[in-house]
Amino acid sequence: MAPALWPRLGRILWLACLLPLAPARVAAGVYELHLTTDGPATTGAEVTITASLVADDNGSLVLPASARLYRFRWIHTPLLLTGKTDEAFSSTVRVVGNVPGDFPVSVWVTAADCGTCQPVARSLLVLPITEFLVGNLVVTQNTSLPWPSSYLTKTVLKVSFLLHDPSNFFKTASFLYSWDFGDGTQMVTKDATVYYNYSIVGSFTVKVKVVAEWEQVTPDVGKGVLQKTGDFSASLKLQETLRGIQVLGPTLIQTFQKMIVTLNFLGSPPLNVCWRLKPECLPLGEGECHPVSVGSAAYNLTHIFRDPGDYCFSIQAENIISKTHQYHKIQVWPSSIQPAVFAFPCATLITMMLAFIMYMTLRNAAHQKDMVEVADFDFSPMSDKNPEPPTGVRCCCQITWTDGRRPPAAQRAATDHKERGSRLTEDALLPECLAGVRVNVTDPEPDDGSRSGAGLLQGSAYIFLPGWCPIQ
Ligand SMILES: *[C@@H]1O[C@H](CO)[C@@H](O)[C@H](O)[C@H]1NC(C)=O
Ligand SMILES: *[C@@H]1O[C@H](CO)[C@@H](O)[C@H](O)[C@H]1NC(C)=O
Ligand SMILES: *[C@@H]1O[C@H](CO)[C@@H](O)[C@H](O)[C@H]1NC(C)=O
Ligand SMILES: *[C@@H]1O[C@H](CO)[C@@H](O)[C@H](O)[C@H]1NC(C)=O
């Protein structure tokens, strides 16, 4: 008998020691033990842990008729037990941790009269104990944005520190809060709640350092001031309503030319943008535009027009907070008469007209000169009709009459053959003559016909004009 008992007893002891620390599933039976706690807690504060016995399949099995049949057994060391309450199907313990750390607490339920019997249910939790304050930062705003941690700029934000102190450990403490909103604003308050208004968009981390101070009288040390601190933070994404769309782009473009219109959104992305191109500017109706998802504050819209005409871009954007729209008119020219190209033929035409006018002016002048020359050549049988100074001619002066009379043949000879001893020495007048100066010369002597072939009319005025004479 005895040899058979010892292994059995050993197994029971082994189970009694190890089972509470083993995973709950190992001993899954008809009952379950649910553990709840109000932890985590700061060192010195009391933590309440409750274990409740429930039916395994959530209530379809009835619990034992008499709770007295079962006992709750706890292992909580090194946490100090400060209280214990047993109820019908639950047991509650209050423990205090004096050093920080993560402490396992296990509980199991056995038959009331058999502490070493196999447990009907058991469970385990890990209780975190910290030397700092326990709590969290809660940010709220009177808006509901669809993204987590998203709030509106220029709208009051309520930031509160909620101390987690279920045991009322800090009932006599006074608190001081040092806030940092991450945008350069800092403040210190005695109130756990502040109201703040972000003016710019972006991601910010709001931080608060909480200091709790209280007096404590301990028998050994006496009266002293104790302090605990805690650092808390929350990440915020500040968005803003969509106030408008700035459209930057050409208002005049050529067909088949790539057009880029830059849309700058005055508001926070993400945005749902929808655009439509029509000859007239009309508000966008549902489902009749090109939808685009835009993740930044700017977007480039590109389009190539195939047909010339007047167009209007109707652009609508919404960032869930708000919605806005904008229009952008654009004139499309056919490629051939696009303004820049049109300017070229225009300039060419003007140039051509100017050139023509100049040509006509010059031609008229040349023509007049031709006429003179022709007249010259009329009484100069040896000259040819070419108005240009060809080779074989020299610059000389020729004589014409102021009264427009045609020179008689004798005079023609005199003017044509100046080199042969004409009385009028044109060479003396050559510089003026060449300069195009008209020189009036009146023959001082009456024509007596003695001069060789001269025969100039007495009292007539002669005009010397530059011209071309053949070299002889
Ligand atoms: C048990 O019931 C509770 C509430 O009635 C429910 O929240 C839970 O999900 C149920 N559990 C199971 C395992 O059905
Ligand atoms: C919050 O918004 C509601 C309506 O959206 C408004 O009636 C209320 O006054 C607002 N409260 C604050 C504190 O702004
Ligand atoms: C928030 O600040 C903006 C300016 O930055 C101001 O226009 C707005 O009225 C403020 N809102 C509140 C509720 O104080
Ligand atoms: C839009 O195009 C311009 C040049 O046309 C460029 O500088 C800019 O970076 C583009 N923006 C985006 C958002 O693509």
Q: Name all residues whose Cβ lies below 6 A of ligand 3.
A: 154-156, 197, 199
Q: How far is the CA of 31 from the centre of ligand 1 (A)?
A: 14
Q: What is the pLDDT along the chain (472 residues), one digit of tens a residue?
A: 334 444 444 444 444 444 444 333 333 467 888 999 998 999 999 999 999 988 877 665 566 666 567 789 999 989 999 999 988 788 999 999 999 999 999 998 888 777 777 888 889 999 999 999 999 999 998 877 767 788 888 889 999 999 999 999 999 999 999 999 999 999 999 999 999 999 888 899 999 999 999 998 888 777 889 999 999 999 998 888 888 899 999 999 999 999 999 999 888 778 889 899 888 888 877 668 888 999 888 999 999 999 999 999 999 898 777 888 889 999 999 886 545 555 566 667 778 888 888 888 777 766 554 444 333 333 333 333 334 444 544 445 555 555 555 444 444 444 444 433 333 444 555 555 455 555 444 444 444 443 333 334 444 445 555 454 554 4
Closest approach atom of ligand 3 to CA 153 = 1
Say which ligand is closest to the CA of 196: 3
The pairing of strands 393-401 and 461-470 is antiparallel
Q: Is this structure's pTM higher than 0.75?
A: no
β-bridge pairing 150-152 and 222-239: parallel
- Residue that is written with structure tokens 């009028």 in the block: 424
Ligand found nearest the CA of 141: 2
Cα–Cα nearest to 261, from 334, 336, 322, 312: 312
Indicate which residue's Cα is closest to atom 8 of ligand 3.
154
Closest CA to 169 of 214, 138, 222: 214
Element (H, E) at 364: helix 339-378
Nearest-CA neighbor of 323 among 267, 277, 239?
267
DSSP letter at 432 equals H
Please tell me if the CB atom of residue 248 comes closer than 6 angstroms to any atom of ligand 4: no
Distance of CA 350 to the CA centre of its chain: 46
The best mutation among 199, 200, 243 to test binding of ligand 3, ranked by most ligand atoms within 8 Å of the C-beta, falls on: 199
Give residue 411 CA to ligand 2 midpoint distance, Å. Answer: 119
User: Which ligand is located closest to the Cα atom of residue 299?
Assistant: 4
User: What separation, in Å, do the N-terminal and C-terminal C-alpha atoms of the chain show?
Assistant: 169
DSSP E strands in 286-356: the ranges are 290-294, 298-304, 309-318, 323-333
Question: Of 10, 7, 35, 15, which is closest to residue 110 (Cα–Cα)?
Answer: 15
Strands 222-239 and 186-189: unpaired
Q: How far is the CA of 57 from the centre of ligand 1 (A)?
A: 9
Q: How many residues are given for the chain?
A: 472
Does residue 5 sit in helix, strand or coil? helix
